[in-house]
A and B are shown apart, each in its own frame.
Chain A
Amino acid sequence: MAKRSLSRLLGLFLLAVVAGLWFTRPQHIEASAIPERDPDLTNGERMFWAGGCASCHAAKDAKGDDKFVLQGGLELKTPFGLFRVPNISTSNAQGIGGWSTADFITAMVKGTSPDGRHYYPAFPYASYEKMRYGDLIDLKAFLDTLPASDNEVAGHDLDFPYSIRPGIGLWKLLYLSDRPFEANPNWDETTNRGAYLATGPGHCAECHTPRDIFGGLNAERWMAGAPNPEGGRGRIPNITPHADGIGNWSAADIAFFLESGFTPEYDSVGGSMASVQENWAKLPGEYREAVAAYLKAIQPIASMKAEDDGS
């Protein structure tokens, strides 16, 4: 009797595992779902800078044209373990040279590799999923013009249970919205443009918004500052229009910061934001002004004390 109920329990468990794997299986976007478009390389390059590709995928401390060599290899030390940023150059052997546009859009929007594995969300596809197909097509076309590097990057070294890749499917069920960017009807065109740039390609929230215990962004504290994802002393700042954040910055101050790297007190940008600011300095002024308008329009939120969120 006991044996029978045990085997029944085991059967139920296996069924749950199979169902779980089915519901959390890596998703793809078919080539037929992607619109026809003549790629616009100028826009592709703008998406490259707004998306910050080089900040993670170029060599550590790369400057100038070396930022176009997306050889990977940067090591990100996180509470989940060590991530090694992959080579996404046009190398067929080591990079993504052989990818189709559908492969690329699937990676950016669904976090799935061409061979059907989940990517870890250290690759910020939970933000990139908001990007428009047109922008992704242009970005892919621009990446195709960049040099190939045969730099070989080792895999990640993650702690258990994060090392179990199928588990990411569950994370995606919780945190991928599966919806494109939606404009806020109460905002003007510039503010919505900034919202798209900041939340989609710019993926600002990935660092400026704290995460919950499963590593998903806490929407209640949107852009209100967070522990440094790479650990160590110091926090990623609150960039909401609250007095604890950048409430005393004008929109022009924010745009000037993104252009020059200087705050209204003429302190300079530092840390991982330095590279982000360099990217934004390469974009036309209206991109920075749009993001500034968005950051003035979001909910002001007080900062948390460091000890309240475990930093």
Chain B
Amino acid sequence: MLKRVAITGITGLAVFAGAAFASEDPISTRQNIMKSNGASAGALFKMVKGEIEYDALTAELALREIFAGAVAFPTLFPEGSETGGKTRASPEIWKDKAGFEATALKLENAALAAIPAATSGLDQLKASLGSVADNCQACHEKYRLEKN
């Protein structure tokens, strides 16, 4: 009984901590979204380069992950999250919020728009990947700082 209470307590704490992690630490959350995007970009590019086999479901999953990340992304830069946690967020994000949000919206739309082509064959994925990937550069050019 005591054991069960302890386990429930610990699990509850872990869930609570997890929730706190996502909602109260925007820096870590946005960094993890970017890691997911890196994994998605990796899957897509590796298929294009012939390093892994083309798979329509993987392509769709990767593009939907990028879409979902881009939807959440602009909400993760509240006041007070300008520095700390090794963030490379540029002060431009807070100076030019509208521009930043517009850039994220472009990525959302590009990822969704690429799904029909990317899931219909490798050549179509090759032809459409640039329209998504160019958005990574465009945002990182203006809104991300160099590494320390």
Residues of A participating in the B interface, judged by any CB pair closer than 8 Å: 61, 228, 232-237, 256, 260-262, 265-272, 274-275, 277-278, 306
Q: List 22 A-B contacts (CB under 8 A).
A: A61-B142, A233-B88, A233-B145, A233-B148, A234-B145, A234-B146, A237-B146, A237-B147, A256-B49, A261-B133, A262-B41, A262-B45, A262-B133, A266-B39, A266-B42, A268-B137, A270-B139, A271-B140, A271-B141, A271-B144, A274-B138, A278-B137
Chain A residues with CB under 8 Å of B142's CB are: 61
Q: How far is the CB of B5 from chain A (nearest CB, A)?
A: 44
B40's closest neighbor in chain A, by CB? A266
Main secondary structure of the interface of B (DSSP, over half): helix
B interface, size bucket: 20 to 34
Tell me if B38 counts as interface (CB < 8 A to partner A): yes
Chain B residues with CB under 8 Å of A268's CB are: 41, 133, 136-137, 140
Question: In the complex, are the beta carbons of A274 and B140 less than 8 A apart?
Answer: yes
Q: How far is the CB of B92 from chain A (nearest CB, A)?
A: 10
Q: How far is the CB of A65 from chain B (nearest CB, A)?
A: 16
B38's closest neighbor in chain A, by CB? A266
Q: How far is the CB of A281 from chain B (nearest CB, A)?
A: 10
Known: A261-B133, A268-B140. A306 touches B39 (CB 8 A): no
A269's closest neighbor in chain B, by CB? B137
Q: How far is the CB of A83 from chain B (nearest CB, A)?
A: 20
Question: CA separation between A69 and B106, bound complex, in Å?
Answer: 25
Chain B residues with CB under 8 Å of A272's CB are: 141
Question: CA separation between A275 and B141, bound complex, in Å?
Answer: 8
Known: A271-B140, A278-B137. A266 touches B45 (CB 8 A): yes
Main secondary structure of the interface of A (DSSP, over half): loop
Question: In the complex, are the beta carbons of A234 and B88 less than 8 A apart?
Answer: yes
B42's closest neighbor in chain A, by CB? A266
Chain A residues with CB under 8 Å of B137's CB are: 261, 268-270, 274, 277-278
Give the one of B41, B45, B136, B148 with max A CB within 10 A.
B136
Question: CA separation between A61 and B148, bound complex, in Å?
Answer: 24
Closest 8 CB pairs of A and B: A270-B140, A234-B146, A268-B136, A274-B141, A266-B42, A234-B145, A266-B41, A270-B144
Chain B residues with CB under 8 Å of A278's CB are: 137
Residue of B45, B136, B148 touching A235 (CB-CB under 8 A): B148
Q: How far is the CB of B4 from chain A (nearest CB, A)?
A: 43
Question: CA separation between A96 and B141, bound complex, in Å?
Answer: 29
Chain A residues with CB under 8 Å of B141's CB are: 269-272, 274-275
Chain A residues with CB under 8 Å of B49's CB are: 256
A277's closest neighbor in chain B, by CB? B137
Interface residues of B in 116-148 (CB under 8 A from A): 133, 136-142, 144-148
A237's closest neighbor in chain B, by CB? B147
Question: In the complex, are the beta carbons of B133 and A236 less than 8 A apart?
Answer: no
Residue of B38, B88, B133, B139 touching A265 (CB-CB under 8 A): B38
Question: CA separation between A269 and B136, bound complex, in Å?
Answer: 8
Chain A residues with CB under 8 Å of B38's CB are: 265-267
Q: How far is the CB of B78 from chain A (nearest CB, A)?
A: 20
Q: How far is the CB of B140 from chain A (nearest CB, A)?
A: 3
Question: CA separation between A306 and B147, bound complex, in Å?
Answer: 11
Question: CA separation between A232 and B147, bound complex, in Å?
Answer: 11
Interface residues of B in 42-59 (CB under 8 A from A): 42, 45, 49
